[in-house]
Amino acid sequence: MPIETRVALVTGATQGIGRATAFALAEAGFSVAVLARTEADVRAVARELRSRGGAHGGAALPVVADVTVPEDVERALETVVAEFSVLDVLVNNAGTGIRKPFVHMTGAECDFLIDLNLRGLLLCTRAALRYMLPRQRGCIVNIASRAAHLPEPDLAVYSATKAAVVAFSRALAQEVDGQGICVATICPGPVDTERLRRLAPDVDRRGWLQPEDVAHAVVFLASPQAARYNGAVLDLFR
C-alpha cells in the first residue's frame, strides 16, 4: 500500500540488502538518505534513486559516514534532519562477516566485526532516538541474521554480534514501548549478495533469498500498518 511521504535513513546502502532497501523505500514513497563510507558509491546510488523516482517522488540524499565513528554518526543524523526536517525510519543494515575458525581469528578481526555489526548499530540507534523520541514517532529496523538463532561453524564472532543485535532490539523495544517508537528486527537466512558469495563460494545458492525479499520486509515494518510490531523479530528463511 502507498505510504505517505516520510524520511528513511539506510546504513550500508550502496550494495546488497541496503541498496535494495533504499530502492524499495523510495518506491514506497519515502525520501531516502543513503549512508555508506565511500562518497562515490553513495552519490551514485542517490543519483540512480533520483533518476528512477519513487512512486510519490521522494528525494534522495547521499550521506558519507563511518557508523563506527561517533562523530560521523552524529554529523550524519544532523545532515539528514537539516535536509528533511525529520527522521521517521532508521534501517541499521551496515555489517559484514568473516568466515574463519575462531581459534584463527585475530584480535583486530574480532574488534572489526563487533565495531561494525554491533557498536555501529548502537551509535546510529542512539543518535536517531534523540530525534524520534521528542516527536513520539519513529521506526527502527535492525538487520540481524539467521545466525543469531542458528550459529554456524567458522562464524562464531559474526553469530555472536547478530545474537547481540536481537537481544538489544528486544530490550530497546520494551524501553520505548508507549512512546510512539517501533523497534523491529529481521533475521534473514542466506541472501544472494556479492559479499556472501565471496564468503561461501562453493555453496549451492538455489535456496537463498534475494536482497529484495529482505527489502520488502523492511518496507512493511516501516509502514504505519506495522506500528503494533514493536519488539518483533522476523525470521526470513526459505
Which of 140, 113, 136 lies closest to 126, judged by CA?
140
In angstroms, what CA-CA distances link 56 with 21, 50, 60, 180?
A: 16, 12, 12, 25
| CA angle 70–124–112, rounded 5-degree value | 65
158 assigned to active site: yes
- Return all residues near 57 (Cβ < 8 A) that are at least 6 apart: 5
Question: DSSP letters of 186-222?
Answer: EEE--B--HHHHHHSTTS--TTPBPHHHHHHHHHHHT
The active-site residue, picked from 30, 84, 131, 158, is 158
Q: Is the distance from CB of 148 to CB of 166 less than 8 angstroms?
A: yes
CA distances (Å), 137 to each of 65, 100, 181, in order? 24, 41, 5
> Residue 23 and residue 193: Cα distance in Å, rounded?
16
Catalytic residues: 158
